[in-house]
Amino acid sequence: MKKFLVLFTALAALWTAPAYAALQVDVTQGNAQPLPIAIPDFLGDPQVGANVAGVVRADLERSGLFRPLDPHGFAEHVTNINAVPNFGSWRAITAQGLVTGQVTQQPDGRLRVDFRLWDVFGQSQMLGLQFFTTPENWRRIAHMVSDAIYERITGEKGYFDTRIVFISESGPAIKRVKRLAIMDEDGANPIFLTRGDYMVLTPRFNPTAQMIAYMSYIGGKPRVYLFDIETGKQERLGDFPNMTFSPRFSPDGNQVALTLETGGNSDIYVMDLRSRAMHRLTTDPGIDTAPSFSPDGKQIVFESDRGGGQQIYLMNVDGSGQRRISFGPGANGTPVWSPRGDLIAFTRRQGVQFSIGVMRSDGSGERIITNGGRDEGPTWAPNGRVLMFGREAPGGRGSSIWSVDVTGRNERRVLTPGSASDPAWSPLIQ
Amino acid sequence: MMSFSRSLKFTCLSAALVLGACTHKQEAVNTAPPPAPPPAPSAPAPVTSSILPGSAEDFRVNVGDTVHFGYNEYSIQDTDKSILGRQAAWLAKYPAVRVSVEGHADERGTREYNLALGARRANAVKEYLVSQGVSTGRVETVSYGKERPICTESNEGCWAQNRRGVTIVTGGANS
């Protein structure tokens, strides 16, 4: 897959207004009113200008924090993004934010995208940026514009310029075909990475989003593999006589925590990717699996049934200090540490009901945030504010991927090509 | 209705598993005296009269390839010990045969947990066979967790079918 060079610079502010920023959204509010924002089609090439603005509108709308206004209702026609807008006419249609932009083809063939974010009530420019890239890369620029707007208004990093690796499913439940696939965060550009002649499960990104660790049944032997997105090369991780599964990268990308089954017993190990040395972390005769590193790399959260039922445990990265942190009802598993470090997402199962929950990293403050019936396997947006997960339809009728705010609001189905499960959210792409 | 659809699924599965054996069976009909009809005619009717002793299908049909487990359990149930005993005896009779034991779970578990549970079940079957004299090197294990159900309804009837260990002949069989 091609790497794209994206350059951006700040545009000179057109307006020196009061320094206070009236326009802001608090992403922690469970009942936030979406902010009305006007995003006219960008000037310049009409097709590309409309495409870029359309992606930005869709990104911001999907976040649940913004309400992009219908361009048909705009009274003001932007003709020059380097002129101060007529704020009164935007106020009249209740817009609080305004984005003006322009796309131009450079003499060297590159695409240049300029945009400015305006505070309509504060009558000031909040942001002005310019991007250069190859023309086919216009969607990424649009996502970067969305990220910049999101960050300027919420104070949190955006997550639109990211990708999702997932398992694409087809066929009946008794012989379902599962393929490794990747797509943009908004579902665009889906690409299959394996053909489907062997089953693959539980893909996860490394911190640079260039490598995927996953489990594959290639050759009939379920083992952890690495997939290099740049080269398409697949490599089995280690050579073990038994099953390896449930891989996850360390925050520095140099290690993979995984589960190795020996004589029917599953224990957690950490493999150093350079030396390929394996270090065993659990020795309990119970099931120990689903490890996930804390963002500082010092701890690992995992699941174990050593106490009788499936529950969530914490340990230091050397395996010391193992202790149970989940005490809620039912079975609790698949813990995933938030990139912010504050929360751990997990799957709760009671009978055949599966839900996604979050708890603080000491196990306190547990909240269940979905109730779709068969919700499993959470993954965090890089800003730790949004989760995706898989939702299975009962009776083996297929799976879908959903997203939800950590507050439990704004649950949405994620666009995928057909049935899909096991999403993993990339870090922000570098 | 349910049992009808279930038997359909079994038939499809059986057909898939013995496809290789079926092809060879046509030759066996022409060259060998017809053996006695098998007691469990769950395979497609046209080939049931031609099971070759020592073949994968002989094992599956005349010995029995599947044992079942309790919810979140992996101990061999007393009622299944006779099947595993027959498997061990058959493997003693055909010492070149190698097998793989597949461990499966029902849908009531997360993906990774069920992979681990399936491994426990496959290993429990392997250990029982080894305790009956089968050498450990002849038995591989593989877990499919909840990824390969044979029944897809959300009820105990289906769950009980899906919580299973299946011994598959992988090599060294007569064909």
pLDDT tens digits along A46-61: 999 999 999 999 999 9
- Cβ neighbours of residue B27 closer than 8 Å, sequence gap 6 or more: none
A 371-410 residues inside an 8 A Cβ radius of B: 376-377, 392, 394-396
| Nearest beta carbon to residue A289 from set B12, B113, B123 | B113
Q: What is the pLDDT of residue A395?
A: 78
Q: What are phi and psi of B107, to 5 degrees?
A: -75, -5
Distance of CA A15 to the CA centre of its chain: 35
Tokens for A128, please give them.
């002005």
- DSSP E strand boundaries for B22-159: 66-68, 98-104, 139-145
**CB proximity B150 to A under 8 Å:** yes
Average pLDDT over residues A124-150: 95
Q: Is A246 close to B150, i.e. CB distance below 8 A?
A: no
Average pLDDT over residues A239-263: 97
Q: Is A264 close to B142, i.e. CB distance below 8 A?
A: no
Structural domains in chain A plus CATH codes: 7-17+30-154 (3.40.50.10070), 163-425 (2.120.10.30)
DSSP state at residue A337: E
Residue to mutate among B1, B10, B110, with most A CBs inside 10 A, is B110
Q: Is B117 close to A287, i.e. CB distance below 8 A?
A: yes
Q: What is the pLDDT of residue A372?
A: 83
Closest CA to B67 of B44, B101, B113, B97: B101
Q: What is the pLDDT of residue A10?
A: 73
Pure H helices in A132-290: 138-154
Look over chain A and give the mean of its residue pLDDT values, rounded to a whole number: 93
Instruction: Please check whether residue A223 is in contact with residue A271, taking contact to mean a CB–CB distance below 8 angstroms.
Output: no
Q: Is A243 close to B9, i.e. CB distance below 8 A?
A: no
Q: What is the pLDDT of residue A84?
A: 94
Q: Is B112 close to A202, i.e. CB distance below 8 A?
A: yes
Q: What is the pLDDT of residue B13?
A: 35
Q: Is A376 close to B111, i.e. CB distance below 8 A?
A: yes
The residue type of A177 is V
- Cβ neighbours of residue A133 closer than 8 Å, sequence gap 6 or more: A4, A5, A6, A7, A110, A111, A113, A140, A141
**CB proximity B167 to A under 8 Å:** no
pLDDT band for position B32 (cuts 50, 70, 90): very low
Average pLDDT over residues B142-162: 96
CA distance A77 to A90: 10
Residue to mutate among A223, A244, A259, A266, with most B CBs inside 10 A, is A266
**CB proximity B10 to A under 8 Å:** no
- Residue B29, pLDDT above cutoff 70: no
- Answer yes or no: pTM beyond 0.90: no
Average pLDDT over residues A31-35: 79
Look over chain B and give the mean of its residue pLDDT values, rounded to a whole number: 81
- Residue A16, pLDDT above cutoff 60: no
CA distance A229 to A235: 12
- DSSP E strand boundaries for A14-134: 35-38, 43-44, 66-68, 97-105, 111-119, 124-133
Residues of A in contact with B2 (CB under 8 A): none
Q: What is the pLDDT of residue B168?
A: 98
Q: What is the pLDDT of residue A14?
A: 63
- Residue A19, pLDDT above cutoff 50: no
- Residue B59, pLDDT above cutoff 90: yes
> Tens digits of per-residue pLDDT, A380-423?
999 999 999 999 988 778 899 999 999 999 999 999 999 999 99
CA distance A38 to A118: 10
CA distances from A418 to A167, A190, A397 (A): 10, 11, 12
- Residue A137, pLDDT above cutoff 70: yes
- Residue B47, pLDDT above cutoff 70: no
Structural domains in chain B plus CATH codes: 56-171 (3.30.1330.60)
Residues of A in contact with B16 (CB under 8 A): 175
pLDDT band for position B46 (cuts 50, 70, 90): low
Residue B173's DSSP bridge partners are: none
